[in-house]
Amino acid sequence: MNGIVTQLQLQRRHTDRVNVFLDEEFAFSLALDLAAGLARGQALSDAEVERLRAEDAYRGALDRALRFLGARPRSQREVDAHLREREVADPVRRRVIQRLEALALVDDRAFADWWVANRGASQPRGRLALQSELAARGLDRDTIEDALAAVDDASSAEDLARSRAGRYRGLDRAGFERKLGGYLRRRGFDYDVVRHALDAAWSSIEDLEAR
């Protein structure tokens, strides 16, 4: 694809991109800032063309990854999968992730800590559920265990059970435990933790009714 740059044409629909013509024929398009380094009459070798196209692909993929990260923190696997779905080539994906890691925008340990803290604040989960969620996002066992080290299932389950107990206030003990217990188990709390949480929540209901 080596040749002489004969035209640099700003795209109509994407004004941040430029069509590059070599020897009077369309050859490829580039981001505006990359195309700014070209001039009509300039000779481009095959290697230079490949370098420009590779840099353009990298910048486009990096922009996609940054937009993806704008919604919330992501694990390395999530970013990689997002770019893979958009058919970004393997070398480009690796380069993008390396850059994001260097900028501390992708950090699996920090992501794991954020995930656990966010769940605890808005949607409490038991250790089993958190472990499954983090593993599904590509985190290794050691990273997951470190993030879960401070998780107190008993306290979380009891707080959650007490906060929802009022919804089942009109039920008998069996119905109360069936409804609330099912909810807690779906949140990833094990049997013993659920059993203690239900006892505490039922006691809180009895205290309210005794007043």
> Both 161 and 112 in a single domain?
no
Residue 114, domain CATH: 1.10.10
Domain that holds residue 189: 153-210
> Both 159 and 205 in a single domain?
yes
> Both 24 and 56 in a single domain?
no
| DSSP element (H, E) containing 10 | strand 3-10
The residues facing 7 across adjacent strands are: 21
> Both 5 and 21 in a single domain?
yes
The residues facing 26 across adjacent strands are: 21
Give me the number of domains the chain comprises.
Answer: 4
> Both 53 and 95 in a single domain?
yes
Low-confidence ranges of the chain (pLDDT < 70): 1, 207-211
> Both 32 and 60 in a single domain?
no
Residue 88, domain CATH: 1.10.10.10
pTM of this structure: 0.81
> Both 159 and 199 in a single domain?
yes
Give the pLDDT score at 208: 56
Query: In angstroms, rounded to a whole number, what is the distance separating the alpha carbons of residues 159 and 195?
Result: 13
Model pLDDT for residues 58-83, shown as the tens digit of each residue: 999 999 999 999 999 999 999 999 99
Give the pLDDT score at 2: 79
> Both 134 and 83 in a single domain?
no
> Both 101 and 116 in a single domain?
no
Query: In angstroms, rounded to a whole number, what is the distance separating the alpha carbons of residues 20 and 7?
Result: 6
> Both 112 and 90 in a single domain?
no
